[in-house]
Amino acid sequence: MAEILAPVEARLRAALGEPDARAAVTFLGTDRFEVLRFIDGDVVRYATLGMSAQPMADPSDPFADPVKGPRAELVLSVRAGLADTDQVLRKLAVLAASPQVEGVIVAPGASLDLGEPLWPGAPFSSVLVAESGGLVEDLELAAPMEAVRFLPLLPMTPNEAAWKRVRGAQELQERWLSGGTDLRDPLRASVALD
């Protein structure tokens, strides 16, 4: 695990700078998950560390490969000082643990629902998983392991999450773009939907 997580943390530091805080969470029967906080001007970024230690696989597959399979970490970016977003640390650890606990394979276009606000007063209880490669480049690992993808999380209001289930992730992202939605605003209202 350390041979994977050390270069993952190094990639995060190279892209986002030095973390100013970190929290660790361990769930019964899982590895330890950390969430690192990075401050970049008026934006605070939270990144998981530990999700990529094991490849994601269907837990019902008796022949799941312990080496091959997709690996990822999660990155959430929000505007600083507008809400108590540090309360998201445990929620991000829960999302990072979902592949081990629930057998969820986290991939771009997926919705992850917590069933409760991401932080106190947040209008969001779920996130849309976006494509990797923007903020933090994928990290290639030695074969046969797959690269670690750093997947951005985009908070969704309940209305947006419901609309996404019907219309798809691409259409929701297009709606955000055409509406000029500030996806980093921790208190933003839902985008106008049909």
Residues 6+ apart with CB under 8 A from 33: 24, 25, 26, 27, 48, 49, 50, 51, 93, 96, 97
Residues 97 and 54: their CA atoms lie apart, in Å, by 11
Per the CB < 8 A criterion, the answer to whether 126 and 111 are in contact is yes
Q: Tell me the mean pLDDT in the region 171-183.
A: 95
Residues 192 and 162: their CA atoms lie apart, in Å, by 13
Residue 104's pLDDT is 87
Residue 142: half-sphere exposure toward Cβ, Cα within 13 Å: 3
Which two three-digit tokens encode residue 12? Answer: 């995060």
pLDDT above 80 (res 28): no
| pLDDT over 90 percentage in the chain | 79
In sequence order, which ranges of the chain are alpha helices (DSSP H)?
2-16, 88-102, 158-167, 169-178
Give the confidence band of 3 by pLDDT, cuts at 50, 70, 90: confident
Per the CB < 8 A criterion, the answer to whether 47 and 40 are in contact is no
pLDDT above 70 (res 166): yes
Residues 92 and 143: their CA atoms lie apart, in Å, by 28
- Of 61, 46, 58, 67, nearest to 150 by C-alpha is 46
pLDDT above 80 (res 60): no
